[in-house]
A and B are shown apart, each in its own frame.
Chain A
């Protein structure tokens, strides 16, 4: 059983060691338009709903706590308060149910879930979410980060823009930008910042926000045009750095994970690029892309089968936990 609560989603999932998902319920803390989620309020939300979600996960899977092998939770990276609120529940359940605990790196959870759901063996991974933007490839027992954002994450950039133009946070700001972008017709030139394999997004965020402030009311463009142009520009940057990593690593396949990964336009652009290189794109929908409990459970069970469990004192959380800090003992290939 896996527990996730590193950002505004709180989720519990039950997974078998072969990657079959028995249940995967989730609840999202949604704030009013124009506002984001703050750590304290988010943690409060998680505390209020997590026990119901645990019960729901057990009911949907049709199992009793005694059928579980281990409890896996997100150790990091993420927001401190929400992470801890979930870890406390896991420590408690571990003592009641007498089950061992396995800490999981959130990013590795995304990667392993994507690999098992899509059947991708050794892809270049583009991990794009509200807090992370990384291009990752496996090399010698580590998921190495080849390119990443040098300032804010893609999802964060999109969320902040959504807040500026007052889009709803339900189901997510990114989804609403995607829908609005479909109505956009005019392409507005925006800053395009690729530095080697890394990208920078703070400049385009400021630009898009100031365009929104000055041009929408003046009737020079619509919010839809801005959403469309913002997506086109940012996603082109992401596809470019992914392609550079593929060229560098001689890889053919790409796996997209993370919340922004369910954006269909991003998947489309990536599919064109990967197709031209003769490779295959692996992408998932919102059930697995967005933070969920099953991904933590699956990454955790892989580590558990390698004998990795944590003592009560080791069940800490950390806001900063790099993807390449994890020694990937369960993969035997180079």
Chain B
């Protein structure tokens, strides 16, 4: 009950409205199985139609203006579902999408067994070969998305999973900030975010180099993306102009 009460506080968009809505997450007992609480929302683990499922619910951000909040939550939910499907069509491994619940701002998807790249780097358990293989897969996946005009928008090591199977397939998750774009600038920024996530947090230069090598091989537009990447990087570094 305690957890439920906490969730209510965030969803308090009018008592009558609440009564009409069916809260599937509650029915499935999701609120008792909180997996994590990120910056954007909460993630629950449930059994959905007999499958292990991850439910990602976006919550109201009470600090921001209600109009802005509704706009952002709605557009990001729709965009996330659409982008995940687009990535799959482009041949990038993502979790399977099961269901989108507009009213509860929740997305239901397959639970991928495995660890995040962040955990793997922290554990320091990857061999030189693992690093090369995983780096190459990440580079290829990003290249496929970019060539297909999809920008992930939040390529951090927590959003890259490695599936627990023989192939150690790299699965890209969290398309919450994804957008459609064929502009090299956006691709450059995407790569820059990835570079910073890998090298700043984990100081793992070698891994990022494998990513870039694979990206170069897999993308037909690598040269324009790389040029913009270098430009964005320079801009980032110069950002300390005035006190």
Interface residue ranges, A against B (CB under 8 Å): 6-7, 74, 76-79, 106-107, 129-134, 139, 144-146, 148-151, 153, 156, 187, 189, 192, 194-198, 232-233, 236, 239-240, 243-244, 246-248, 268-270, 272-273, 276, 291, 319-323
Inter-chain contact B241/A150, CB cutoff 8 Å: no
A192 and B223 alpha carbons, distance in the complex (Å): 29
The yes or no answer to B12 lying at the interface (CB within 8 A) is no
Identify A247's interface contact among B38, B62, B71, B243, CB under 8 A: B38
Chain B 204-226 interface 0/1 with A at a Cβ cutoff of 8 Å (1 = within): 00000000000000000000000
- Within the complex, the shortest CB–CB distance from B231 to chain A, in Å, comes to 10
Q: Considering the complex, which residues of chain B in the window 131-170 have a beta carbon less than 8 Å from any beta carbon of chain A?
A: 153-156, 158
Interface residue ranges, B against A (CB under 8 Å): 38-39, 61-65, 67-68, 71-72, 153-156, 158, 177, 189-190, 192-193, 196-197, 200-201, 232, 235-243
A268 and B62 alpha carbons, distance in the complex (Å): 11
- Within the complex, the shortest CB–CB distance from A295 to chain B, in Å, comes to 11
Closest to A237 in B: B64
Contacts A146-B200, A233-B68; A131 near B242 (Cβ below 8 A) = yes
Inter-chain contact A148/B236, CB cutoff 8 Å: yes
Identify A150's interface contact among B65, B72, B201, B236, CB under 8 A: B236
Inter-chain contact A236/B236, CB cutoff 8 Å: no
7 pairs from A and B in contact (CB 8 Å cutoff): A232-B68, A236-B63, A239-B63, A240-B39, A240-B61, A321-B240, A322-B237
Identify B39's interface contact among A7, A247, A272, CB under 8 A: A247
A148 and B237 alpha carbons, distance in the complex (Å): 10
Q: A233-B65, A243-B39, A272-B62 are in contact. List 13 more A-B contacts (CB 8 A).
A: A77-B241, A77-B243, A107-B240, A107-B243, A130-B242, A132-B243, A150-B236, A150-B239, A187-B68, A189-B67, A239-B64, A319-B241, A320-B241
A295 and B241 alpha carbons, distance in the complex (Å): 19
Inter-chain contact A236/B65, CB cutoff 8 Å: yes
A148 and B175 alpha carbons, distance in the complex (Å): 21
Contacts A150-B232, A151-B235; A196 near B242 (Cβ below 8 A) = no
A246 and B237 alpha carbons, distance in the complex (Å): 22
A87 and B154 alpha carbons, distance in the complex (Å): 42
A178 and B200 alpha carbons, distance in the complex (Å): 35
Query: Which of chain B's residues have a CB closer than 8 A to the CB of A195?
Result: 153, 177, 189, 193
Identify B65's interface contact among A78, A232, A248, A323, CB under 8 A: A232
Identify A77's interface contact among B63, B190, B240, CB under 8 A: B240
A6 and B68 alpha carbons, distance in the complex (Å): 36
Query: Which of chain A's residues have a CB closer than 8 A to the CB of B63?
Result: 236, 239, 268-270, 272-273
Contacts A270-B63, A276-B62; A196 near B68 (Cβ below 8 A) = no
Question: Which of A106, A144, A149, A195 is most buried by chain B, counting CB atoms within 10 A of its CB?
Answer: A195
Inter-chain contact A74/B243, CB cutoff 8 Å: yes
Inter-chain contact B243/A6, CB cutoff 8 Å: yes
Inter-chain contact B177/A196, CB cutoff 8 Å: yes
A76 and B242 alpha carbons, distance in the complex (Å): 8
Inter-chain contact A149/B67, CB cutoff 8 Å: no
Inter-chain contact B236/A196, CB cutoff 8 Å: no
Inter-chain contact A323/B240, CB cutoff 8 Å: yes
Query: Which of chain A's residues have a CB closer than 8 A to the CB of B237?
Result: 320, 322
Inter-chain contact A106/B243, CB cutoff 8 Å: yes
Inter-chain contact A189/B189, CB cutoff 8 Å: no
Identify A244's interface contact among B39, B64, B236, CB under 8 A: B39
Closest to B10 in A: A276
Inter-chain contact B155/A196, CB cutoff 8 Å: yes
Inter-chain contact A248/B241, CB cutoff 8 Å: no
Closest to A323 in B: B240
- Within the complex, the shortest CB–CB distance from A100 to chain B, in Å, comes to 23
A240 and B58 alpha carbons, distance in the complex (Å): 13
A219 and B90 alpha carbons, distance in the complex (Å): 48
Closest to B159 in A: A196
Question: Which of B67, B200, B243 is most buried by chain A, counting CB atoms within 10 A of its CB?
Answer: B243
Closest to A152 in B: B239
Query: Which of chain A's residues have a CB closer than 8 A to the CB of B192?
Result: 198
Query: Which of chain B's residues have a CB closer than 8 A to the CB of A151?
Result: 235
Closest to B158 in A: A248
Query: Which of chain B's residues have a CB closer than 8 A to the CB of A320?
Result: 237-238, 240-241
A233 and B68 alpha carbons, distance in the complex (Å): 8
Identify A236's interface contact among B39, B64, B189, B241, CB under 8 A: B64
A319 and B237 alpha carbons, distance in the complex (Å): 12
Inter-chain contact B39/A246, CB cutoff 8 Å: yes
- Within the complex, the shortest CB–CB distance from A227 to chain B, in Å, comes to 14
- Within the complex, the shortest CB–CB distance from B187 to chain A, in Å, comes to 12
A131 and B193 alpha carbons, distance in the complex (Å): 22
A90 and B64 alpha carbons, distance in the complex (Å): 45
Closest to A155 in B: B242
- Which 7 residue pairs are nearest across A and B when measured between Cβ atoms? A131-B242, A6-B243, A196-B193, A78-B243, A272-B63, A236-B64, A77-B240
Closest to A276 in B: B62
A23 and B82 alpha carbons, distance in the complex (Å): 58
